[in-house]
Amino acid sequence: MSVLSQIIFVLILGAAGYLLTKRVKFLKRNILLGKAEARNDQPDRRWKTMALVAFGQQKMFKRVIPAFLHLLIYVGFLVINLEVLEFVLDGILGTHRLFAPLLGAAYTAAMNFFEFLAVCVLISCFAFLIRRNILKVERLNKPELKGWPGLDANLILVIEIVLMFAILKMNAADQLLAERGVGHYITVGPLFFSGLFRPIFEGFSDGFLVFVERAAWWFHIIGILAFAVYVTYSKHLHIFLAFPNTWYSNLKPKGEMKNMPEVTNEVNMMLGIPVENAGEPPAEIGRFGAKDVNDLSWINVLNAYSCTECGRCTAECPANITGKKLSPRKIMMDVRDRAEEVGKSLDAGGPGLEDGKSLLGDYISKEELNACTSCNACVEACPVNIDPLSIILQMRRYVAMEESGTPAQWNAMFQNMETSFSPWKFSPSDRFNWAEKVKEEEMQ
């Protein structure tokens, strides 16, 4: 590699690093638009959860076929990127196959393994394209995926296919040049999968093979760097965020709803239950529930950016199955889109959160929120432990407590809960009358 090529490579690497760093700072700021929430308890259990759910993809295997295909892409992504390390070092140092002389036969074995994984990735990507566009799996063709989300999913799969073919073509041309004794090319031993491409190139001149090998090398490394930046704008950001997202999982039982401390303290004081710092003046409550992204916790926003848009939550949602408007996947996509909108406005010197819009109303409707049964099916289904229900409950609290906008039937139930301690309008003293009737019937 010439000095000029080295300089160009370093400049491209620096540009990709700059863009990636800038985007990461943007994402961090957007996530921290949410309110502070401490979730660092039980670290041993959190590490275990991350190992099983993120690394081990435990919840993916509820659907074996797509899980297996996804596993092939996942392992391929992790392992093949070890070869990218050699690409980067070769680009910086001006070398070619830096590790080949050092590893010998082990290098040949590693290259064959990398190529095997590349073929597995190819097969899996083609299978996913078929599932999305020919078989049209229902959860992958919902209304919220129309337009950019659907295009994004297909685009990533096509990019991965092209990158894998680039590796195989590069290796085929490289080994032909090495056997012909051209320049600095090194024979690394028989490579099975790229060897299948050799008959295509054997009749070409050395100059053309050098062009093919160099073009494939530059295409692959630039493609990888561009992919790393692009992923931060894509649903495939979950490749990186799945790990912190699972570490910060909600470890409490799924049926347990988080109380609002301000309301809990008020109730406890009314009931004569001792309250910590009861003598101090109460802190001013900014808002009951959540209307916009800044009313949610930062973990809720992290959940939104970690969403894979796989649709397992929506596929399991009983409200969605019965034709209601609610889609837990759309809820997460809406939170992410609103955070992006606010972040871009802030960067442009705009009004940010004061733009006259809000998550409630402009993105998520009351109809969607009211359709939720709070069953936690979406939470259980998510392969990276995202919690759409937490967001739905916080927004419903805002509608109920700030706008008094819940349906009339709900208001009657709330009043009964407050006065009779049950959803039904009868005296608490009569609550167990049904049991007496059962006893009477048993005695007859």
The whole-model pTM stands at 0.88
If asked whether residues 421 and 298 sit together in one domain, one would say yes
Give residue 226's domain range: 3-31+63-236
Q: Is 364 helix (H, G, I), strand (E, B) or coil?
A: strand
If asked whether residues 316 and 190 sit together in one domain, one would say no
If asked whether residues 226 and 300 sit together in one domain, one would say no
* Residue 82 CA: distances (Å) to CA of 77, 114, 283: 9, 9, 53
| pLDDT surpasses 70 at 277 | no
Residue 333 in any domain: the answer is yes
Lowest mean pLDDT among 29-38, 152-161, 266-275, 365-374: 266-275
Residue 96 in any domain: the answer is yes
* pLDDT tier at 421, thresholds 50, 70, 90: confident
Q: Which of 341, 348, 349 is nearest to 294 (CA)?
A: 341
* pLDDT tier at 418, thresholds 50, 70, 90: confident
If asked whether residues 228 and 330 sit together in one domain, one would say no
Residue 51 in any domain: the answer is no
| pLDDT surpasses 90 at 80 | no
CB atoms within 10 A of CB 60: 20
Residue 442 in any domain: the answer is no
> What pLDDT shows up at residue 111?
93
| pLDDT surpasses 60 at 281 | no
> What pLDDT shows up at residue 30?
97
Phi, psi of 197 (to 5 degrees): -90, -10
| pLDDT surpasses 90 at 119 | yes
| pLDDT surpasses 90 at 417 | no
| pLDDT surpasses 80 at 228 | yes
Q: Is 245 helix (H, G, I), strand (E, B) or coil?
A: helix
State how many domains the chain has.
Answer: 2
| pLDDT surpasses 80 at 416 | yes
Residue 241 in any domain: the answer is no
If asked whether residues 22 and 111 sit together in one domain, one would say yes
What does the pLDDT look like over 56-77, one tens digit per residue?
A: 999 998 888 999 999 999 898 8
If asked whether residues 304 and 385 sit together in one domain, one would say yes
What does the pLDDT look like over 29-54, one tens digit per residue?
A: 999 999 999 999 999 999 999 999 99
Residue 39 in any domain: the answer is no
Over residues 415-429, the mean pLDDT reads 81
Q: Cα Rg for the chain, rounded, in angstroms? A: 28
| pLDDT surpasses 70 at 23 | yes
Q: Distance between CA 4 and CA 94 in Å, rounded?
A: 10
> What pLDDT shows up at residue 62?
85
CB atoms within 10 A of CB 396: 21
Residue 158 in any domain: the answer is yes
If asked whether residues 203 and 313 sit together in one domain, one would say no
Q: Distance between CA 401 and CA 388 in Å, rounded?
A: 20
If asked whether residues 218 and 367 sit together in one domain, one would say no
| pLDDT surpasses 80 at 280 | no
If asked whether residues 201 and 315 sit together in one domain, one would say no
If asked whether residues 186 and 317 sit together in one domain, one would say no
Q: Which residue has the tokens 């394209």?
A: 129
Residue 277 in any domain: the answer is no
Q: What percent of the chain has pLDDT over 70?
A: 97
> What pLDDT shows up at residue 412?
84
> What pLDDT shows up at residue 278?
55
What does the pLDDT look like over 308-364, one tens digit per residue?
A: 999 999 999 999 999 999 999 999 999 999 999 999 999 999 999 999 999 999 999
> What pLDDT shows up at residue 443?
78
If asked whether residues 217 and 298 sit together in one domain, one would say no
If asked whether residues 303 and 224 sit together in one domain, one would say no
CB-based contacts of 1: which residues, under 8 Å, 6+ apart?
9, 90, 91, 94, 95, 96
| pLDDT surpasses 70 at 285 | no
* pLDDT tier at 284, thresholds 50, 70, 90: low
Summary mean pLDDT of the chain = 90
CATH number at residue 386: 1.10.1060
